[in-house]
Amino acid sequence: MKTHIFYKKRVIFVNFLSFLIICKNTFQLFLHINSSNYYIKAGNLCFAHLYTLFIFYTRATFMHEIISINRRI
């Protein structure tokens, strides 16, 4: 049961961290809207989307691990 709680906390922490990073990137994107540097805007948006996909992948992996741990118990 301890491993189950540990994974749950880890999933929550990773999701929260990803939310903060996506917020930071979106804020940076809005800061750069007034500037003429299109590449910075596109790069920030691309990074935010890639990080979101990465988080969904890790969340699915963690959930799979939690399910397999519960089946063993």
- pLDDT recorded at residue 35: 58
Output the CA angle 47-63-51, nearest 5 degrees. 0
CA atoms within 13 A on the CB side of 70: 11
pLDDT in tens, the chain (73 residues): 555 666 667 767 777 777 777 777 767 666 665 555 666 666 666 676 777 777 777 766 666 666 666 665 5
C-alpha span between 41 and 31 (Å, rounded) = 9
Secondary structure of residue 32 in the 3-state scheme: coil
Helix axes 38-72, 2-31, angle to 10 degrees: 170
